[in-house]
Structure formats: C-alpha cells, structure tokens
Amino acid sequence: MQILLLVAPVFAIIVTGFLAVRANIVDDAITGWLIAFAYKICLPALMITIVSDAKFDELLNWGFWIAFGGATLAVLCLVLVAGRGWLGHDRSTLTIAALSAAMTNAGFVALPILHHVFGAKGVPPAAIANLIIAAVMFPLAVVLMELARGSAGERRSVMGIAWQVISNPMVWSTLLGFALAAGQISLPGVVDDFLLTLGQGLTPAALFAVGASIRLGDLVHDAARLAVLTTLKLIVLPAITLGLALILDLAPIWAVAATICAAVPTAKNVVVLAHQFDQGKAVASMAISATTMFSIGTLTLWFLLLAQLFPSAFAHLGS
C-alpha cells in the first residue's frame, strides 16, 4: 500500500494532463511549451546540480550500463531480426518499430519518477540511462535509419550527428555534471540552490505534458502491431533489464532504477526520427501514445514487484 501511495501522485499528474486537455481546461498548445520548459530548462538544471554532487565512482557503475544498455540493444536486435513482416514490411518502418520498442523516455518520465520516489539517489541512475539513450542509442538510430534508407536522400555528416547529440540538453547537462563530479568541483551555494529550485519544476511540467500528449485516436489503428510493441517496451525490455541486474548483482537502488528506466514509455526522439526521415511516423506516434497510457498500470506493477525483490531500496518509505 505504501508503494501505491507513493507512486499514485506521479500517475495522477499524467492523468490530470490528459483530462485537462480533453476537457478544454487548458489548450492543447500548452504541451509544446511545457515540454520546452521541462526539457530545456528544468531537466538540465536538475541534472547539473545532483549529478555533480554524486560520487564519480557511482557514475561509473558499469553493471548499470550493461544491464540497461544491454537490454536495450537486445530488444532492438530482436525486433530487427525477427520482426520483419509483422512489425514492418520495409526496412525503414521496421527500424522505427524496433526503436519504438527499445528506446525509453528516461529523461522525461523515468527521471521525474525516480526523483519523486527516491530523491537525489534516483537521479544518477537516470542520468546514465539518459546518456545511453541520447549519446549511444540516438546516433545508432540515425545510422540505422540511414542504412534503411539506402542511397536515397542526402546522408548526414558525422559532425552533424555529433553536434545533434552534444547539443541535446540531456547530454550536455549530464556530461557537465560528470565533469564536475570527476573534478570534485562544488558549485557555489547560491548557484546550487538556483539550479535545484529550477529543477523542482521538472516533475509536474514533464508528467503533465506527457499526459496531455496522449492521443486516444492513435490506439485504434493497427491494434495487433501496437500490442506487440507495447508488450516489448513495457514488459519484455524491463524484464530483460531486471534479469541482467540480478545476474550482475547490482545494488538494490541501481537495480530498481535500471528496471524503471526500461519500463517507462517510448522516447519521443523516435517520432523526431520518423519525421526527419519521413518513415514510420504512424508507428512511432501509436507506440508513444500506447506505451504512455498503458505504462500507468505496468509501472505500478513493476514497482510492486521491485519492492518485494529489493525491500532495502524502499526502506525509506517506512521512515
């Protein structure tokens, strides 16, 4: 019951965003502004101040990198190898389907949730997950889409891809936090307080925007493929991550964080890629709406299971 009471406000914010737009309490246009505020202002502020305060050795938790990153690559390869025909008849659509099943919204959903539940301890794992998605998976996704497109169209330069990665707010703020942690450089108190105060806006702004962006109309098309992608993203990916975390004997908080990072909805970067390459746009939109909506239930179940497997990670709930 304590777990349910703790995560209920998180999901209530998502539902509030969804209902507020559907009831015309707020205009649908607010979603874009909230996303920009949360993504470009609140998220970097929170990442810099909390990651810089973390121990650098903790940030080099290779078990977490392997568990989360390995599971992500495993699901990506699974869809690319076995999904042709039932998830995508052409290479570009299949690639978008694979990315929809594997790329997780660590920055916009996992980070606010882990910060809400575990406080500052939940941010470093989310920072690493953000780095894996933004600095490893996103460039890989661009390469895969270029290969799927073949010789048609203008190929991106390596420098262009590199700049797109480095200029990502999740990446540059995480790298800056890593650098400060490595150099054991403490921010001045007034700067730290300023960034922390800004960062507090991430949870309500991001989760409200996530709820407001759900499109029920996306859920009525191609239900079979959508069910497969949703199951892969919300059940299979976190299950593989949890299995690897157990095999690698990750510390409880890191095992829980890795699983939750894997269990959140599909990253919005997939839609960005689909539009940039003009391929698989419907698949990407459907996957994001479906995984966002159904994750309210599946994330609750994952939290309940993780609380049974790693009670020490949730010991603070009883205090």
Per-residue pLDDT tens digits for 37-50: 888 898 889 888 87
Kindly tell me if the per-residue pLDDT of 310 is higher than 90: yes
Query: So what's the pLDDT on residue 289?
Result: 85
Query: Rounded CA gap, 34 and 46, in Å?
Result: 16
Kindly tell me if the per-residue pLDDT of 72 is higher than 90: yes
Helix, strand, coil % (nearest 5) of the chain? 80, 0, 20
Tokens of 108: 């916009």
Which range has the top average pLDDT, 29-33, 113-117, 161-165? 113-117
Kindly tell me if the per-residue pLDDT of 254 is higher than 80: yes
- CA distances, 226 to each of 90, 222, 230, 261, 284 (Å): 17, 6, 6, 21, 10
Kindly tell me if the per-residue pLDDT of 87 is higher than 80: no
Tokens of 271: 């839609």
Question: What single letter denotes the amino acid at residue 309?
Answer: L
Residue 272: pLDDT band with limits 50, 70, 90 = confident
**Cβ-contact 264, 105 below 8 angstroms:** yes
**Cβ-contact 138, 276 below 8 angstroms:** no
pLDDT tens per residue, range 168-183: 787 788 889 888 888 8
Residues 6+ apart with CB under 8 A from 81: none
Kindly tell me if the per-residue pLDDT of 85 is higher than 70: no
Lowest mean pLDDT among 9-18, 81-90, 119-128: 81-90
Query: Rounded CA gap, 308 and 90, in Å?
Result: 43
Question: What single letter denotes the amino acid at residue 319?
Answer: S
3-class SS of residue 128? helix
Residue with tokens 């069910």: 227
Choice between 139 and 241, residue whose per-residue pLDDT is larger: 241
Query: Rounded CA gap, 228 and 231, in Å?
Result: 5
Query: Rounded CA gap, 167 and 117, in Å?
Result: 29
Angle at 102 between CA 289 and CA 13, to 5 degrees: 40
How many other CB atoms are there within 10 angstroms of residue 6's CB atom?
17
Residue 155: pLDDT band with limits 50, 70, 90 = low
Question: What single letter denotes the amino acid at residue 242?
Answer: L
Lowest mean pLDDT among 194-208, 234-248, 291-305: 194-208
Query: So what's the pLDDT on residue 69?
Result: 95
3-class SS of residue 266? strand
Query: So what's the pLDDT on residue 158?
Result: 65
What mean pLDDT is predicted for residues 195-210? 86
What mean pLDDT is predicted for residues 297-306? 93
Lowest mean pLDDT among 117-121, 148-152, 183-187, 288-292: 148-152
Query: So what's the pLDDT on residue 152?
Result: 47
Query: So what's the pLDDT on residue 253?
Result: 94
Q: Is the dihedral of CA 197, 106, 174, 169 positive or negative?
A: negative
Query: Rounded CA gap, 229 and 104, in Å?
Result: 12
pTM: 0.82
Query: So what's the pLDDT on residue 218?
Result: 63
Q: What is the set of domains in the chain, with CATH numbers?
A: 2-318 (1.20.1530.20)
Kindly tell me if the per-residue pLDDT of 194 is higher than 90: yes
Phi, psi (degrees; rounded to nearest 5) at 206: -65, -45
Residues 6+ apart with CB under 8 A from 155: 146
Share of the chain above pLDDT 90, in %: 28
Residue 240: pLDDT band with limits 50, 70, 90 = very high
